[in-house]
Chains A and B, each alone.
Chain A
């Protein structure tokens, strides 16, 4: 019982610390949120890819991931949404608008909401079609089965696989490789990260996949979050080192 209370208190302390770091990062970098920010190269390539697709009049396809845990999207599921937001904004008047595919109902609805919003902002609602954001499948394999034909689409300029992806996504990555399509991937699943490393995907490792808004300079909140993450990571490293030393000294069992 005591152990549970200690763990709860520790969890509350971590949440408070994260909140504090986020607040400090927001306040200290509010004028220049993206200055001196650590950026992921894969996501910087993503931006180039969006420009190239627009120039060539080709389409970009994004797989937003599959829901692995519960009925509501996990934080990692939201990782692809900032990219979809930017991608849709840039492709409103393109010959081939961006195509989003989700492996979860709520995520598919969110994706469609974002795409529709971009068309509304551009005063071009008549160009919007509901199939720009689709449910690929409600289970992981159904998602994969729905994703593969879209990766195989003849007018694709590139493929993005962001969010909770499973190791089987390698089938989509391999298809993109065969078709010579650039692929940008980022996932919270360790096995999926490992298998995607074996392809030619431009990969976001670890938590970088969750910070697309910061790398694409489209979300000051995400930029503050990257700074806060860096500070918390340093604290985690110091905590681990302190724990190891205390254990070695026999102070902490």
Chain B
């Protein structure tokens, strides 16, 4: 019973959403209600996850675990932003500006770092994966598309070259579509497995 109920709930919810997406108008009102329930359940799960995270870091501080200083920073920043949102409201412009002033520079610096690491990794691909057809193709295509993206070749305005460039620019899309079709089929079957109760993500 304990195992059957979640399967039935998941299957019923999935079938209802599928039906509502296909039938459209007649079930639109109900679809909104069910999606709101999903948002509430997901938010509750997020709260539980945050509570676990905070408790873990509190335990780290109490036990004086290595790196507990980071736990102090995490809990204090969490409390400040949480209390700030409760007092001023999540739509308050000053509160949003304050959060953005911390979050944006941090995210931008991580993005900058990621860009540098990506460049380094692309240059080191032959060292890490050796010389093979895959690495050669990777290296050559990266180089070709870097040159194309510069726009200098297009500026020459040679009709034959423009045709070749247009053709080359379609190639990544074709490859991506191939991969996306595969991923789409995989995701569809994963969804069907959940609906049929064959895949139980919540199971042990």
Q: Contacts A118-B204, A134-B52: A71 and B43 contacting too (C-beta < 8 A)? A: yes
What are 29 pairs between A and B in contact, CB < 8 Å? A11-B22, A14-B188, A15-B192, A19-B192, A22-B193, A71-B42, A71-B43, A75-B194, A76-B187, A109-B49, A130-B55, A130-B56, A134-B49, A138-B46, A145-B106, A173-B121, A188-B186, A193-B179, A197-B134, A198-B121, A206-B186, A207-B187, A209-B186, A210-B189, A210-B190, A222-B199, A225-B189, A229-B185, A229-B189
* Closest A residue, CB atoms, query B125: A198
Q: B42–A102 contact, CB under 8 A?
A: no
Q: B45–A108 contact, CB under 8 A?
A: yes
Q: B199–A221 contact, CB under 8 A?
A: yes
Q: Contacts A205-B179, A206-B179: A135 and B50 contacting too (C-beta < 8 A)? A: yes
* Contact among A85, A120, A200 with B128 in the assembled complex (CB-CB below 8 Å): A200
Q: Mark A68-94, 1 if CB is under 8 A from B, else 0.
A: 000111111011010001000000000
Q: B201–A110 contact, CB under 8 A?
A: yes
Contact residues in A for B103 (Cβ distance below 8 Å):
141
User: Which of A45-53, A163-171, A245-253 contacts its partner?
Assistant: A163-171
Chain B: number of interface residues, binned into ranges: 35 or more
* Closest A residue, CB atoms, query B193: A221
Q: Which of B28-60 contact A (CB under 8 A)?
A: 38-39, 41-43, 45-50, 52-53, 55-56, 59
Is there a chain B Cβ closer than 8 Å to A190's Cβ?
yes
Bound together, the chains give a CA A129 to CA B46 distance in angstroms of 18
Residues on A lying within 8 angstroms of B by beta carbon are 8, 11-12, 14-15, 18-19, 22, 26, 71-76, 78-79, 81, 85, 102, 104-106, 108-110, 112-114, 117-118, 120-121, 130-131, 134-135, 138, 141, 144-145, 149, 167-168, 170-171, 173-174, 177, 188, 190, 193, 195, 197-200, 205-207, 209-211, 213, 219, 221-222, 224-225, 228-229, 232-233, 236
Q: B138–A197 contact, CB under 8 A?
A: yes
Q: B118–A170 contact, CB under 8 A?
A: yes
Contact residues in A for B179 (Cβ distance below 8 Å):
190, 193, 205-206
Contact residues in B for A205 (Cβ distance below 8 Å):
179
* Contact among B22, B114, B188, B204 with A170 in the assembled complex (CB-CB below 8 Å): B114
Q: A221–B198 contact, CB under 8 A?
A: yes
Q: Contacts A11-B22, A71-B39, A117-B203: A233 and B49 contacting too (C-beta < 8 A)? A: no
